[in-house]
Structure 1
Amino acid sequence: MLHPPCSAQDVLLCDLCETIPLQSHCELCNVSLCKACVGEHLSDSSKKHNVVSFLHRKSTPSYPKCPKHPHKHSELYCEKCDIPVCSTCVSKKHKGHNLCDFLEKLGSKTESLQKDLEELETRIYPKYEEMASEIQIKKSKLQTNYGKLTTAADQQGEVLHREITAIVNQRKSDIQEMKNKHVAALDKNRDEITQRITEFRKIIEDLKKILNTKDGSLTSTYKSRNGEFRQLPPKVRVILPSFSPSKIDEDHLSKMVGSMSSLTITTEKQGYIIKSTEAVSSPPVKPLLDEPRVTATIDSGYNTLYSVNCLSEEQVWTCGNNKSMNLLNLQSKLLTSIQTKSGNWPQDIAVTRDGNLVYIDYKNKTVNLVKKKKIRTVITLQGWEPLNVCNTSSDDLLVTMISEDREQSKVVRYSGFTETQTIQFDDQDRPLYLSGNLKYISENRNLDICVADWAASAVVVVNQLGKLRFRYTGHPSNTKKSFNPIGITTDSQSHILTADNYNDRIHILDQDGQFLRYIYSCRLYRPCGLCVDIRDNLFVAEWDTAKVKKIQYI
């Protein structure tokens, strides 16, 4: 608050308690504080307070002059028109509009500006730098990749000798032309990103100047562009051409030299947008229990149980070796039963944020939504077969799938049942996942995508952009059998929990893949599907016993 002029004998008191002389000042909230009240003020974690010594506080912002009436100050702010106004403006053009004190609005605008600056510096700007770095890495590998093609063409040319020299030279020319196009495509992509990075530096510099100068006019007229920048630019994906040599045939020398597949350069739209920092808050720290305990056991009624998914703390959806998907309570009572549209066994299930059921029909190659007991096929695949599914914090679906020829596996993101992202290769264009019919999937709190790749005996974790973060291949211990991950889930602490089916235990990892401990003292038998409720209770589907165990571990 603004203090009136005082004499040398006047004592400035704390704005909160109004009884003790002040010592500090919060520049964000513009309040003066005594030593005892600083802690109480900082307890409001919804704001990033900046408490300094009162003597080192910055100048208090003042009301700016009205641009239309220079003899007056803009003491009010028109919410409807989004501009500062004076009393004369109010009586003429803003009568009846929603008005507030200018300095109050300035405080909220300043806080919003600081959040934009933090997001640009810590989240958006680094992602663009990371993309620029990836392009440079790809360029550094061009010489090796295209050199292999040139060598293959040379070897075939030596077999045919002088008669085909001209044809070989033509092929080499084709390779060079493709290489130039490849480089040009990457340069164009890099230039677009570099241009944005330069723009970010200027914006960040301007924002810092505004914050430092405390110019109310500039702050109030600031318009955020962070929403525009959260949509990352397209990512260039290139399918490298290949050289296919042929056997010598004197009648068809040109064909016998071999042919080049065409260079394919496409831009892959990154459907996943960087999440706003406002949507992410740090949860309270919950320590792991030394002795996890079973708090409930549910008999599912199946012969073999595949998956479990929480609808609430007291109700879980299950699916197993028949065409029914059953909703059960903790007392094993059947509340609802849904049969698949095709009569096939469901491969996996998930629950959307609004409580609807999603299930995978592996044989029909479909993903289906159950809403109010009515089934609607929302995704039908061609050339691929769906395996497992999970729902994300943004209500997208992540689906693991395998190609019909059993040679490839990938993860696909669907937003509103429209494909927006494909995750299949690492930075060296090597497959992230091995082929196999079990690939349970979960999204972590930090937006990492975690897959239990049963065929690879590994948990594969990529970030929200699909970049490989780490692979976890088990903990060196005295387990009887090799690591066999099937089910996977995550909790509020960003722990990754995966079911080690052959060793009858759950592995708990931190978000960076470091092993923390096992859950194995709860008499688990062939654990398979996993899920965690909102209170971090773990539900474990046991493959052979067809029971669901609710475990308190945190």
Structure 2
Amino acid sequence: MAASEPQESETGQHLLGCGFEHCENKCQFYCNPCNRPLCEQCKEVHKNSPDTQSHEVVLYQQLFVEKCKDHPKNDIDSQIHQYFLPTSLELQKETREDASRIKMALEEMRASIMAEADTVKKIVDVIASEKVDRVNKIEESLNENLKEQDKTFDDYISYLHKLVETCHQDVSSTELQNDPKITPESIRPIPETTKPILPVFTTGQYNKDKVANLLGSVNVSSLEPPSRKIRLFGTAFEHSVFAEKKSKEEKGKPDDKQTLSSSVTEVAELKVPNINGGYHMSIDSTSGKIWLSDLVGNLLQIYLERNRVGKFVQFYLKGNRPLGDKFSRGCGYHKVTQSGFLIYTDKDNKVVNRMTLNNKIIEIVRTVDWEPISVHSSYLNGDILVGVKYEEEAKVIRYNKAGQEIQTIQMDSKDEPLYRDPHYITENINGDICTSDYGKQAVVVVDKAGEHRFSYRGKKANFFPWGICVDTFGHILVCDDYNDSVHLLDKNGEFLSYLLTRQHSVKYPRVVCLDVENNLYVGQSGSNTLTIYKYYP
């Protein structure tokens, strides 16, 4: 068949990509012997190649109109090209994209391991230097004491020499015996001095396993890998037709510059009782329990049963009420640790508590004068990250699992404050600390050493970030309350897409949270409905 210029199809056909490697153009032609879709440029290359110049290349849309001449009633060929082949090519493309994602993610993981090792080495160097300085100061102190003792003996010996000179004055020995001026009792006693006690160095108690724990761990999920989604036969092209129609309808509207993502599919809506809006959420990956809180101190422990709320336990944490007329007092105030314990901030008493499995409360961190407004438990090393405020100042403090302060993050390299209201906090797969700062109207990200990496301030003039989380590839998801959307960023703060918008019936989103099965939970202000989406990173 002779190929002609492609005409716009009146039917909604699937927009297949070109089959040539590294070509991202849309398919316009199809080579029947090769079973390969081609764009216009690659078609010319294909036809001019000595190996394929005799191949029959047809318009892609002709595959759906022309049937086999020998069997005009048999439309199997059309069905294969309309559904089975495009769908298979799509899945193959997805497989190759997954391979690229895996390579990228593991390269980042290797870099993170080496960066973690460098950080540990630097810490070891600092500690070793501090200990050497300590030894130097002890040596100086001991030497100073010995010098004072040496001077004491110099003075005493000089005193004795003077006594001897007195004895040798021009006075007869008889006179000295009859009238002694110096007696043993009149001589000053020999000064008492002390021997130095040397410090003792006790070697550290460590082994390979303990050092390995400092560098985090690499774990392979025991979950069954999810099946790839295959479009149902007969509806393979509905999505592309709808998307094309929707795109035309959206042209000229105020939101036509928004990038929409099709990487979420709504799964269920949960009506949660006794809650006044979903403002923060923590998931216990070991048991599947969900902790959901609102803005007035209610905290629910929820057990899901087939995407429905089953049993739930209600708590009321009075230390986490709004204060006066402050609009945000910190909402990301709880997190489940690797061990399955809930930790939460008590702003009134300025502490971070741990709730045991039998609901016993144990204080683990005291922030003294600073009010703790957000908390996160690191899945990399178990550290506790706490966002705190004191009057108009704010900072992030890192504590180890024993509750000892080991890092404070407050200023950037220009000595400007990084934070104003860090009311949500999380940690990325590379160790970056990501905070949603309502006062700064930004997502503020620093590396594990506390160095400022970037601040994301949204795509529009008004950006008020709320809940924040990250996925397994290091993408950052953050709620934009003002624009009724959830933004998707890469690990370097580059905007990728609007993951959710008003078109998904999202209004005043407050919290986003991902579980280990890539279920995305979204809570909204003023609503007791928790929406669950399937998230495809």
What TM-score does the superposition give when structure 2 sets the normalisation length? 0.49
- Indicate the structure (1 or 2) with the bigger Cα radius of gyration: 2
Higher relative contact order (CA 8 A, sep 6+): 2
